[in-house]
């Protein structure tokens, strides 16, 4: 009982400390697929330093190439016929994206980890357990899962007060909504920082409880099932 109370006091102290309250500047995105690369793109485009992580260099090369191509489309819309400004914009954003094949190493010096890997609970828990042992106390963890309970994933760590969900929609650079999921143990400071980060990306946020499908998918699935019938 004493150790439980001490742990709670420590968590509250960490969550309310000045270092913890600082703005999110460096983001580690784990998973270089469609969602992960999209999250990395919008974070880098809004002046965040980003490390994109996946299993090997080939995957990361494809991910960064996709990001660069997507940024090229954005640049054409922003700067019309000015090719020099288009190239400068793409190069500037890409300069803020680094890559790594070692998730644990990437988590050792970051403000926020956003996981966007396969929708498998055991795989996610194994990943976050390893990250929890390596990441500094200030680091917030978030999952981009669209179907798994955030609480079930978070139990693999000892930082439930610094754990939440950030559910982006595809394609991330285009879709404005982000569902910010708060589990029972998520601290107010953590939730606020996740909201502020999402809004800094230019997104519209909505608060969600840790329920199946969150809000959008929970509303959408019954309509899809009705259409199938």
Catalytic positions are 146, 167, 179, 217
Q: Residue 59 corresponds to which tokens in the numbers above? A: 């995957």
Q: For the chain, where are the alpha helices, taking DSSP H only? A: 2-16, 18-21, 34-45, 57-79, 83-94, 103-106, 121-134, 150-154, 188-200, 216-228
- Determine contact, residues 170/41, Cβ cutoff 8 Å: no
Block residue for tokens 């285009």: 174
Largest alpha-carbon pair distance within the chain? Answer: 67
Distance, in Å, from the CA atom of 148 to the CA atom of 119, rounded to the nearest integer, reads: 7
- Determine contact, residues 39/145, Cβ cutoff 8 Å: no
- Determine contact, residues 69/96, Cβ cutoff 8 Å: no
DSSP H or E stretch at residue 208: strand 204-209
């Amino acid at each position: 009982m004493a150790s439980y109370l001490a742990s709670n006091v420590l968590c509250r102290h960490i969550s309310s400390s000045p270092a913890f309250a600082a703005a999110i500047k460096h983001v580690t995105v784990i998973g270089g697929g469609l969602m992960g690369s999209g999250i990395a793109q919008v974070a880098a485009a809004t002046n965040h330093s980003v490390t994109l992580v996946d299993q090997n260099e080939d995957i990361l090369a494809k991910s960064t190439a996709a990001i660069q191509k997507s940024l090229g489309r954005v640049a054409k819309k922003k700067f019309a016929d000015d090719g020099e400004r288009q190239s400068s914009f793409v190069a500037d954003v890409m300069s803020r994206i680094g890559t790594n094949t070692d998730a644990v190493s990437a988590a050792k010096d970051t403000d926020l980890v956003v996981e966007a890997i396969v929708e498998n609970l055991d795989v996610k828990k194994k990943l976050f357990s390893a990250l929890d042992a390596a990441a500094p106390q200030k680091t917030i963890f978030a999952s981009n899962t669209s179907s798994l309970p955030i609480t079930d994933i978070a139990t693999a760590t000892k930082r439930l007060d610094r754990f939440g969900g950030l559910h982006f929609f595809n394609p991330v650079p285009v879709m404005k909504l982000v569902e910010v999921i708060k589990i029972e143990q998520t601290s107010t400071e953590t939730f606020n920082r996740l909201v502020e980060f999402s809004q800094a990306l230019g997104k519209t946020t909505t608060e969600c409880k840790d329920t199946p499908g969150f809000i959008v998918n929970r509303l959408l699935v019954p309509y899809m099932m009705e259409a199938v019938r």
